[in-house]
Amino acid sequence: MVARHVVKIACERPDLRGRSLSTWDCAEIARELVRSGVVAAIRAQTVPRVLEHHTLKPWRTHVWLSPKAPRDGAFVDQVRGICELYTRPLAPDEMVLSVEEKTSIQPRPRLAPTPPAAAGRPVRVEHEYKRAGALNLLAAFDTRTGRVIGRCYDRKRQVEFIAFLEVLDREVSATIRTIHVVLDNVRGHKGKQVQAWLAAHPRFVFHFTPVHGSWMNPVEPWFSMLQRKRLRRADFANKADLETKVLTFIAQHNEHAHPFNWTTKSAAKVMAWAERHVEKAVA
């Protein structure tokens, strides 16, 4: 009798029972059993035994996404085209750049200096910090060499994106006649000003990842590296200091850069995943 009510409560949203909770835990389920008159009293330790028997963990959350774009044949073709860019041999006059923005990087200068580690003592970072604005980093990751070109900007608009494209146009050798650029679907990458710039610079060819497909953009793991190695302990004097140190990090990374290799085997796994999604959507 009690076990049935435990399972019933665990399989309902707390809000629907008038409880202002995001998820149930064992103690709250026990309180709800008493509150709803199922039992006069029950120990919270009794609840997990019932939940374990029914393989229920209502406190766990799995995030999923209902896609804005359908997982159909066009989705598979888009994934296949990008996988091919990452795995096929390139002609001598081709390159593939993965481009993205890392937005709102804050300097967060600390109120006291950050001393280095010492014997028996870790690096100590002052908890309090001042706000000193934010920068946006635009970065292009060369998928074949791992080298990065990056610039920092105060804002993130078509103007700044075009300025970064101009940087790429200057820094990429004129012997490269086709620059494949893999990027996401944000509006700033598709606006009229950008389209006009592309028309005047035909060696740039844009390839857009699927909606919610940032996992297909190799610059994202590089951003994770930047976050872990340079930005995790934010303590920069101001935006100028932050920009200098981010660009220095890029320069030092390029001294020993390496690509995140997409092999034909890994591409085949991605394609199998995409095709399974299409089968589920059709079923």
Identify the CATH class of 73-115+125-278: alpha beta
Task: With CA atoms as reference, report the closest residue to 148 among 180, 100, 190, 185.
Answer: 100
Alpha helical stretches, state H, 147-202: 158-171, 192-200
Strand-pair partners of 86: none
The pair of structure tokens assigned to 207 is 């390839």
* 118 φ, ψ (degrees, to nearest 5): -140, 170
Instruction: Give the least confident one: 12-21, 167-176, 242-251.
Output: 12-21
Tell me the residue ranges of DSSP E strands in the chain.
94-105, 135-142, 148-153, 178-183, 204-208
Give the global pTM.
0.78
Provide the residue ranges of all domains of the chain, joining segments of one domain with +.
2-53, 73-115+125-278
- pLDDT, tens only, 131-163: 999 999 999 999 999 999 999 999 999 999 999
- pLDDT, tens only, 19-66: 999 999 999 999 999 999 999 999 989 999 999 999 999 999 887 666
Strand-pair partners of 94: 178
* Contact assessment for residue 239 and residue 107, using Cβ atoms and an 8 Å cutoff: yes
Task: With CA atoms as reference, report the closest residue to 253 among 236, 273, 269, 230.
Answer: 230
Residues 6+ apart with CB under 8 A from 112: 126, 128
Residue 1 confidence (pLDDT): 79
